[in-house]
């Protein structure tokens, strides 16, 4: 059973409504388990089912995860067993089986150490730290968090190191080590920013704000909350936004800005329909109680304190019930495993008895067949000895004839191989010449660009920079062609990123304007990429020159996608915007003529929308339809 078939079954199992989801998915997994699927496919199916039912039926999810671990142990695949243990410990932590969670995590850590996988070891050590923190062993939690960071640093994986540092910061804040947390957070913020790390750094700033508030410095914490809010409000999860609003409410209350605190509390309350996290619900009640105390509203504070106590009792009762249910599931699973073990021993004893009987029967049959075989063999030996001499003469003649034919065929194959080698050498020489041409064209354009930079007259710096940018865009196409070794399929994503980076550096705004490119798995022919690169360069240059005047920061987003052979380019900025009613003559000052000429060259039409920011769209069908997904 293939991986594709397994994924299809799981998807079909989840197509029903919410009431049918768990039932359909369970039927799909049972179908996988009842078929001739491999052990790995069965383990994958059980882990998928456990993850999907984790929030709705955690006790059933724990049973599925336990079965996945048992099958993975039988397979002997250590990586598969590590994945099953990781899923199991997450469900155990959600249920509240903290002791079982710690044991499972230590088992996973032992496997990652035996595999000598530093990345998995760092993640497992973070899970061990979390287990110690839940059990109020903050000293051990800090020790394991530091060990996780040490192993992550040895891997030289920037993303893993950043995540490990942020995890250590969070552990330090919860342990009350605020000074150490602030120093470690500053070190984490020195990591270069990119779209994938922006959210992690925003959460780091929110942790720094919590540390400063714990030190009684709400005004110092507020700038970090503002910087974190720019990223979290744009692309954060509901839990991130709720946590940010509550932190801003606490900071405002402690700074005496009660109106702002009430506004942040209302914002957090309005977002609570999007989350089911009990910790955030308790945090909301604590913040509401703290705000009432800050406002000296004794009645609201008393009401909030009662609500907080009631909620804590309710969550503790629910957690106790969940723990009891999880313990019952584990007891039933262990009882079932013991029963299966007893049945397996009994089956082995019966199979041993049956096997002994089979051996006896086979031995008797073998003796009978051996006697019959010897009799028949004697008859045929006498008969075959007569034919052997005659056949040997015929075979000798046949072998000689075949030998002659093979010699002739070998000579013909040698001649064909020589012709083929000559043809291959000729094609290889052509490829080398073409690559050398692209390389020299790129070098010549770079020389021209350098001459532009040296001999640019004063007073015309902007026009010369635009000319340099166009030359650089064309040179980048030739450079990409030289790198991939052909003109057919040039990856667009890295090409656009390099193009944008050159434009930002040329205008000295790389430290205040961010460019985000979304063109994954798109490749184009060099002949189509050349005018498209010039067009994108013009749009980026126009945005840098006009969109961010009198602004400290801004962002530009570039997207390219292929829809049934039609390419769609989107370039937008969050700048001052253009007037949609502006005429073509009024727009001529920003290169509209060149942009529309390049759009026509690509068989497309350019449109734009003004307002708060400007968005350009170009839908075009390239002359060459060899576009395909980049590998």
Complete domains list, the chain, with CATH: 492-620 (3.30.565.10)
Q: Tell me the C-alpha to C-alpha distance, in Å, between residue 232 and each of 244, 251, 265, 285, 477.
A: 8, 17, 17, 22, 36
Taking only the tens place, the pLDDT of each residue in 588-618 is 444 677 888 888 888 898 888 776 788 999 9
CB 208, CB 221: distance < 8 Å: yes
Look at residue 274 in the predicted model and tell me its pLDDT: 65
Q: Give the model's pLDDT for residue 593.
A: 79
CA distance 397 to 215: 102
End-to-end CA distance of the chain: 26
Residues whose CB is less than 8 angstroms from the CB of residue 138 and which lie 6 or more positions away in sequence, other chains included: 132, 171, 174, 175, 176
pLDDT over 90 at 529, yes or no: no
pLDDT band at 516 (very low <50, low <70, confident <90, very high): very high
Per-residue pLDDT reduced to its tens digit, 326-372: 555 555 556 666 666 666 677 777 788 888 888 888 888 888 888 88
* Average pLDDT, integer, range 510-514: 88
The span from the CA of 316 to the CA of 325, in Å, is 14
Please give the C-alpha separations between residue 326 and each of 56, 278, 332, 350, 631, in angstroms, as whole numbers: 14, 19, 10, 36, 45
- The pTM for the full model equals 0.46
Whole-Å CA distances, 360 to 74, 287, 356, 371, 373: 32, 81, 6, 17, 20
DSSP state string for 429-470? HHHHHHHHHHHHHHHHHHHHHHHHHHHPPTT-HHHHHHHHHH
pLDDT of 103 reads: 85
- Which helix (H) or strand (E) segment is 609 a member of? strand 604-609
**Which residues sit opposite 517 in a β-bridge?**
558
Contacts of 391-400 with CB under 8 Å at 24 or more apart are none
Amino acid 5: pLDDT = 40
Helices 195-214 and 158-175, axial angle in degrees (round to 10) = 20
pLDDT at 630 (0 to 100): 35
pLDDT bracket for residue 515 (50, 70, 90)? very high
- Report the pLDDT value the prediction gives residue 555, as an integer from 0 to 100: 93
Question: Which pLDDT does position 588 carry in this prediction?
Answer: 45
Spatial separation of the C-alpha atoms in residues 144 and 88, rounded to whole Å: 20
Could you give the maximum distance between any two Cα atoms of the chain, in Å? 120
What tens digit of pLDDT does each residue of 542-599 get? 888 888 877 888 999 999 998 888 899 999 998 887 765 554 444 444 467 788 888 8
- Joined together, the tokens standing for residue 223 give 């700038």
Paired tokens of 346 = 């009994």
Query: Which H or E run includes 327?
Result: helix 298-455
Looking at residue 590, its pLDDT comes to: 47
Q: Phi and psi for 225 in degrees, rounded to 5? A: -65, -40
Chain-wide mean pLDDT for the chain? 77
How far is the C-alpha of 280 from the C-alpha of 275, rounded, in Å?
8
**CA dihedral of residues 515, 195, 617, 576 (deg, nearest 10):** -60
pLDDT of residue 467 exceeding 80 = no
Is the Cα torsion angle 500, 504, 505, 507 positive or negative in sign?
positive
**Angstrom distance (rounded) from CA 111 to CA 72:** 13
Classify each residue of 565-589 as buried b or exposed e, where b means 16 or more C-beta atoms within 10 Å of its C-beta: eebebebbbbbbbbeeeeeeeebee
* Span 242-290, pLDDT tens digits: 888 888 888 888 888 888 888 888 887 887 776 666 667 777 777 777 7
The interaxial angle of helices 218-235 and 195-214, nearest 10 deg, is 150
Q: Residues of the chain with pLDDT > 90: what percent?
A: 6
Percent of the chain with pLDDT over 70: 73
Angstrom distance (rounded) from CA 511 to CA 505: 9
Residues 6+ apart with CB under 8 A from 602: 528, 531, 532, 535, 618, 620, 622
Q: Which residue has the higher pLDDT, 313 or 506?
A: 506
pLDDT of residue 585: 45
Q: Token pair of 41, please?
A: 């496919």
Q: What is the pLDDT of residue 452?
A: 56
- Over the stretch 94-144, which tens digit does the pLDDT of each residue have? 777 777 878 888 888 898 889 888 888 888 898 888 888 887 888 888 999
* More reliable by pLDDT, 451 or 204: 204
* 514, 591 Cβ separation under 8 angstroms: no
Choose between 453 and 133: higher pLDDT. Answer: 133
Distance between CA 104 and CA 99 in Å, rounded?
A: 9
Residues 607, 570: Cα–Cα separation, whole Å: 10
pLDDT at 429 over 70: no
Higher pLDDT: 521 or 422? It is 521
Q: Which pLDDT belongs to residue 581?
A: 58
Residue 90 has pLDDT above 80, yes or no: yes
Spell out a b/e string for 152-177, using b for 16 or more CB atoms within 10 Å of the CB, else e. beeeeeeebbbbbbbbbbbbbbbbeb
3-class DSSP assignment, residue 427: helix
Residue 15 has pLDDT above 50, yes or no: no
**509: confidence class by pLDDT, cuts 50, 70, 90:** confident
pLDDT of residue 94: 77
Closest by CA to 76, choosing from 36, 117, 104, 39, is 39
């Amino acid at each position: 059973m293939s991986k594709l078939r397994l994924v299809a079954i799981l998807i079909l199992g989840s197509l029903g409504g919410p009431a049918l989801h768990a039932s359909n998915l369970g039927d799909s997994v049972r179908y996988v388990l009842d078929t001739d699927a491999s052990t790995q496919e069965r383990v994958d199916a059980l882990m998928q089912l456990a993850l999907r039912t984790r929030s709705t039926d955690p006790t059933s999810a724990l049973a599925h995860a336990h079965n996945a671990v048992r099958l993975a142990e039988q397979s002997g695949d250590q990586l598969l067993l590590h994945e099953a243990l990781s899923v199991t410990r997450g469900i155990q932590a959600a249920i509240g089986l903290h002791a079982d969670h710690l044991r499972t995590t230590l088992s996973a850590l032992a496997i990652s150490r035996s595999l000598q996988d530093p990345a998995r070891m760092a993640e497992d050590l973070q899970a061990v730290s979390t287990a110690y923190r839940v059990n109020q062993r903050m000293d051990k939690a800090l020790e394991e968090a530091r060990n996780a960071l040490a192993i992550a640093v040895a891997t030289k994986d920037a993303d893993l190191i950043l995540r490990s540092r942020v995890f250590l910061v969070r552990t330090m804040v919860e342990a009350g080590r605020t000074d150490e947390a602030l120093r470690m957070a500053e070190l984490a913020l020195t990591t270069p920013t990119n779209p994938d790390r922006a959210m992690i750094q925003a959460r780091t700033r929110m942790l720094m704000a919590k540390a400063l508030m714990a030190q009684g410095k709400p005004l110092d914490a507020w700038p970090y909350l503002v910087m974190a809010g720019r990223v979290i409000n744009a692309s954060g999860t509901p839990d991130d936004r709720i946590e940010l609003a509550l932190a801003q409410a606490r900071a405002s209350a402690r700074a005496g800005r009660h109106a702002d605190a009430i506004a942040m509390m209302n914002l957090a309350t309005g977002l609570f329909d999007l989350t089911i996290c009990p910790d955030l619900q308790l945090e909301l009640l604590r913040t509401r109680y703290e705000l009432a105390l800050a406002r000296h509203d004794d009645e609201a504070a008393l009401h909030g304190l009662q609500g907080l106590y009631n909620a804590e009792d309710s969550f503790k009762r629910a957690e106790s019930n969940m723990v009891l249910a999880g313990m019952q599931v584990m007891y039933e699973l262990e009882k079932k495993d013991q029963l299966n073990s007893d049945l397996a021993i009994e089956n082995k004893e019966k199979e041993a008895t049956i096997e002994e009987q089979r051996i006896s029967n086979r031995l008797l049959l073998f003796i009978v067949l051996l006697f019959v075989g010897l009799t028949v063999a004697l008859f045929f030996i006498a008969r075959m000895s007569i034919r052997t001499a005659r056949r040997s003469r015929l075979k000798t003649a046949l072998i000689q004839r075949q030998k002659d034919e093979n010699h002739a065929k070998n000579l013909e194959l040698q001649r064909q191989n020589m012709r083929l080698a000559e043809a291959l050498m000729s094609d290889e020489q052509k490829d080398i010449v073409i690559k050398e041409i692209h390389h020299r064209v790129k070098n010549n354009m770079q020389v021209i660009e350098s001459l532009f930079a040296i001999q640019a007259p004063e007073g015309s710096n902007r026009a010369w920079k635009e000319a340099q940018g166009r030359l650089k865009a064309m040179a980048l196409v030739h450079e990409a062609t030289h790198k991939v070794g052909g003109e057919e399929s040039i990856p667009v994503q890295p090409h656009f990123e390099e193009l944008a980076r050159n434009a930002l550096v040329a205008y000295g705004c790389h430290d205040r304007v961010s460019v985000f490119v979304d063109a994954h798995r798109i490749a184009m022919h060099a002949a189509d990429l050349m005018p498209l690169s010039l067009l994108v360069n013009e749009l980026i240059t126009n945005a840098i020159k006009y969109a961010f005047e009198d602004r400290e920061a801004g962002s530009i987003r570039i997207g390219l996608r292929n829809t049934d052979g039609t390419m769609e380019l989107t370039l937008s900025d969050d700048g001052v915007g253009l007037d949609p009613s502006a005429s073509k003559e009024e727009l001529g000052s920003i290169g509209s003529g060149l942009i529309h000429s390049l759009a026509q060259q690509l068989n497309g039409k350019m449109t734009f929308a003004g307002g708060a920011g400007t968005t350009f769209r170009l839908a075009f069908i390239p002359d060459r339809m060899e576009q395909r997904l980049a590998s």
